[in-house]
Chain A
Amino acid sequence: MTARSPSWAGYAPLDADAGVLFRAAVSDIREGLRRRRSWSYLAVENVKNRYRRTVFGPWWLTLQMVILIVGISIVFGHLLNADLRTFLPYVGLGYIVFMLLSGLTSTAAGVFIAGSSTLKSTRQPLSNLVLRDVGVEFINFAHNMVIYLVFLVIGLVPLSPKILIALPIVAVIAANGFFLGLWLGIAVARFRDLQPFITSILGVAIFFSPVFYNLDNLSPGIRNLLVWNPFTHLIMAFRTPLIGAPLLPSYYIGTAIVTVINVAVGLAVFARARSRLPYWVA
Chain B
Amino acid sequence: MAEIDLGNVRARYELLSVLDYSLKRRVVETIRRRAAPPVTIDALGGIDLEVPNGSRLGLVGANGAGKSTLLAIMAGVLPPTSGSVKVHGRVLALLGGAGEGLDQEATGRDNIVSLGVQLGETPAAMRERIDDVTEFSGLGARIDHPVYSYSTGMQTRLRFSILTSLRPDILLLDEGLGAADAEFAHRADERLREFMSSAGIVVLASHGDALLRSQCDTAVWLDQGRVREQGELDTVLASYHASYVRDDTANRLVTS
Contact = CB atoms under 8 A, between A and B. Distances in A.
B89 A2 contact: yes
Contact of B117 (A4, A41, A280): A41
Contacts of B76: 10-11, 123
Interface stretch (B96-104, B134-142, B182-190, B216-224): B96-104
A201 interface: no
A224 B117 CA distance: 47
A120 B100 contact: yes
A41 B79 contact: no
Interface in A1-26: 1-4, 10-15
B248 interface: no
B91 interface: yes
A49 interface: yes
Contact of B118 (A10, A122, A191): A122
Contacts of A193: 21-24
Interface residues of B, number: 46
Given A2-B169, A13-B79, A194 B96 contact: no
Given A3-B90, A11-B79, A123 B119 contact: yes
Interface residues of A, number: 36
Given A3-B90, A42-B118, A123-B75, A49 B110 contact: yes
Nearest to A187: B23
A118 B159 CA distance: 13
A119 B100 CA distance: 9
Interface in B61-112: 72, 75-85, 87-91, 93, 95-96, 99-101, 103, 105-106, 110
A10 B93 CA distance: 15
Contact of B14 (A13, A278, A279): A279
B90 A4 contact: yes
Interface string B10-45: 000110100001111010000000000000000000
B215 interface: no
A124 B119 contact: yes
A128 B114 contact: no
Contacts of A83: none
B20 to A, nearest CB: 9
A192 interface: yes
Nearest to A11: B79
Contact of A191 (B23, B79, B83, B88): B23
B77 A278 contact: yes
Contact of B101 (A1, A121, A275): A121
Contact of A35 (B21, B79, B88, B120): B120
B123 A122 contact: no
Contact of B95 (A2, A10, A120): A120
Contacts of A278: 72, 77-79
A190 interface: yes
A194 B23 contact: yes
A13 B96 contact: no
A69 to B, nearest CB: 30
A38 interface: yes
B72 A122 contact: no
A280 B16 CA distance: 8
Contacts of A122: 77, 101, 115, 118-119
A268 B93 CA distance: 30
A279 B11 CA distance: 10
Given A1-B167, A275-B79, 7 more contacts: A2-B89, A11-B79, A12-B79, A38-B118, A117-B96, A122-B119, A190-B21
Interface of A: 1-4, 10-15, 35, 37-38, 41-42, 45, 49, 117-124, 128, 190-194, 275, 278-280, 282
20 contacts: A2-B90, A3-B91, A10-B76, A11-B78, A13-B81, A14-B82, A42-B118, A120-B72, A120-B78, A120-B100, A121-B77, A121-B93, A121-B100, A122-B101, A123-B77, A123-B91, A124-B118, A278-B77, A279-B78, A282-B13
Closest 8 CB pairs of A and B: A11-B79, A191-B23, A121-B101, A121-B100, A123-B76, A3-B90, A275-B79, A192-B21
